[in-house]
Structure 1
């Protein structure tokens, strides 16, 4: 037996993150200056010493596959691998029809390795998790066929998640998939529901048999939340793991339980801003839980000019390697690799994803600027909502998004 196999669902189209996903899959979207979203789940498995991993890709996968090949390759280690698996259409000439179908179309990979346990995790969330603690919880219940990681969320977000009810033994006794109304709240906490994180630990034989049965159901959506979980729940063999109990060595007090579904522009922006807190709720600097990613061969960041009206400095910000802050001010912002901010420019509350050149005398606020963007001198973004709306995509909370490769302010 292979023991524990991990399968990461990384084929999401990410339509709510447009235009950032116009050229890439959601898990490949840059995050936090140095990372891609996919790096967080991969670091969770690698730091948990779980090194048999298939990453299932689908839509616009080139950027993701390139990132995987540059950083997430294991070679020369027996029975250890991180393999990117494109949609191969082995079960018919169609894309994955749902999360369960994605695993079903690759069921031969499971059967070939014959593991005891299969972890099925999403590839598009920002969090830290020692996955072995969840596996230990699963194994502590002799009859467990499936364990689902869960976290409390406000009841007004219930329509975005699978909502769970549990008994005093952490056994699932009820499940609603993205209910639009009458979501079951947590006893004693009427403002919150218990939400599935989309992270599952399966008994391998249960997973395979459930997938094969589901594949034969022509009325199924072939989705874990809509189909697989509701069919398994009545058996009494589905348990719920409290993510807030997951402990990682070296984490600051109060940071356990941080998890963000960065499925919208606003949630992605807010998760980036979380990194700028004095004690961020997710710590990128914990030496006991290294955050690996691909790092290009670029020089260190540089800050130049020290004149009264022309000083290069960054305050409450993250500045990645290769960046130059030249006689300008960067405040409460994130600069990705190779970002050049020219003199007399002011950047505030913004995320610049990298390879960006911002000309002189610009003012930019409340923006996400994708890679390879050039901004002309004198450009102002974030001060005139109507003018910005005529040029750019703006989120419901007012975050301005400039797509990859744009040239802004040039005639």
Structure 2
């Protein structure tokens, strides 16, 4: 099987500053999404669904929770060669620095790869939301005898300036590439796309940061320590030197690079027919199997709400919101356009009823909207948090406001009667 000749590398990214404060105490791939998953579950699940079961996850910041999640989740059979290993940046006699970029991260990890047999390396990002059959991309890579393949996505002009944009010939071979072009030069970079994409004015092919490299070429490229990034250096420098193929993808894909895109991706899961389908039985999203009770909901009006396991909810209403595992929401509270990540553990009944402390979860008679509540938050009674564009960017010990979205920090305690917005 061709899958046995592939190793996947999932790039965990750097410090994840654009997703701060969600990355204050965890690496970007470990950020919880959709109430019960982690970002890293997406590329790993895509690999498993494509029958690619040898994966390295490269990271260097706050990797403890990521290590724990992967250890508790992805255990293949003793009779399988499959594995998901976290490779954190490490000092060796040959490498005495942190990862300097995407290519440098792979370069510093090559000695781990070289202990395995493989013909192709699939390089993925750890902060994207999508579903893709990598087998189809791999088959076209091999059939065309390409040296490198790049997954590409048709985008509109307003998005194109944020991506690496490329052009291809009639055989989908990439002939030119420009990183984050100015809007003034975009007309020169339009490509031939499907009629469906044309109808949406998505006329520019953007790199998705998903690559296939032939083994020997990658080994050769990694010998040059001066090239530290795939998108800015290796890909542009390889075009017209080796055969670089475009694999055009037209499904749902979003780069979860900042608080706004993270919020929209999660709230989008509450749509009647979400663009990212968690209910596709042929392409499951895998995560840690937890032994949690069913959620208990009393007297609550639910409208486009996603509720994870183990919740105890007595709210008045929950609208267009994602409620994560072990969440507790008190009487008469109104929650809308909110992503509540939930809790890592339950408190005892005595702790919840103790008037001298603020219990985990959301208390009674609260109104919360346009907010992200990180893990283990304690929101008191009669709290009002109303995010929106009327709020200025701000940070305190307990919360951050970014682009109108209020992010309550992990383990934060918000006292009774607090008002924001």
TM-score by length of 2: 0.87
User: Counterparts in 2 of 1:76-155, with a 5 A limit?
Assistant: 76-90=78-92, 91-142=94-145, 144-155=146-157
Moved more, 324-333 or 27-36: 324-333
CA drift of 1:388 comes to: 9.0
Equivalent residue, structure 1, for 2:273: 279
Equivalent residue, structure 2, for 1:197: 208
Q: Tell me whether 1:395 sits opposite 2:383 in the alignment.
A: no
Q: Tell me whether 1:350 sits opposite 2:338 in the alignment.
A: yes
Retained in 2: the 8 A contact 1:381–1:388?
no
Equivalent residue, structure 2, for 1:229: 235
Moved more, 178-187 or 54-63: 178-187
Equivalent residue, structure 1, for 2:12: 10
CA drift of 1:109 comes to: 2.5
Retained in 2: the 8 A contact 1:153–1:195?
yes
* Distance change (3 Å), C-alpha of 1:138 and 1:387: closer
- Write the deviation string for residues 254-291 of structure 1: whole angstroms up to 9, x where unpaired: xxx10010101111111112211111111111111121
Q: Tell me whether 1:364 sits opposite 2:368 in the alignment.
A: yes
TM-score by length of 1: 0.89
* Distance change (3 Å), C-alpha of 1:116 and 1:390: closer
Retained in 2: the 8 A contact 1:150–1:243?
yes
* Distance change (3 Å), C-alpha of 1:261 and 1:185: same
Moved more, 185-194 or 120-129: 185-194
Q: Tell me whether 1:374 sits opposite 2:378 in the alignment.
A: yes
CA distance in 2, matches of 1:180, 1:65: 40
Retained in 1: the 8 A contact 2:123–2:211?
yes
Equivalent residue, structure 1, for 2:414: 408
CA drift of 1:380 comes to: 0.3
Task: Name the SS for the 1:317 alignment partner.
Answer: strand
User: Counterparts in 2 of 1:165-204, with a 5 A limit?
Assistant: 165-181=167-183, 182-183=185-186, 184-187=188-191, 192-204=203-215
CA drift of 1:186 comes to: 1.9
CA drift of 1:137 comes to: 0.9
CA distance in 1, matches of 2:52, 2:202: 36
Task: Name the SS for the 2:118 alignment partner.
Answer: coil
Equivalent residue, structure 1, for 2:328: 340
- Write the deviation string for residues 175-220 of structure 1: whole angstroms up to 9, x where unpaired: 11223453453246676421111000111101110111x21x3xx4
Moved more, 105-114 or 181-190: 181-190
CA distance in 1, matches of 2:12, 2:30: 9
CA drift of 1:110 comes to: 2.8
Equivalent residue, structure 2, for 1:251: none
CA distance in 2, matches of 1:129, 1:49: 12
CA distance in 1, matches of 2:408, 2:83: 37
* Correspondent of 1:64 among 43, 48, 66: 66
Which residues of structure 1 form unaligned runs of 5+?
245-256, 305-310
* Distance change (3 Å), C-alpha of 1:179 and 1:67: same
Task: Name the SS for the 2:114 alignment partner.
Answer: helix
Retained in 2: the 8 A contact 1:89–1:105?
no
User: Counterparts in 2 of 1:247-326, with a 5 A limit?
Assistant: 257-304=251-298, 311-326=299-314
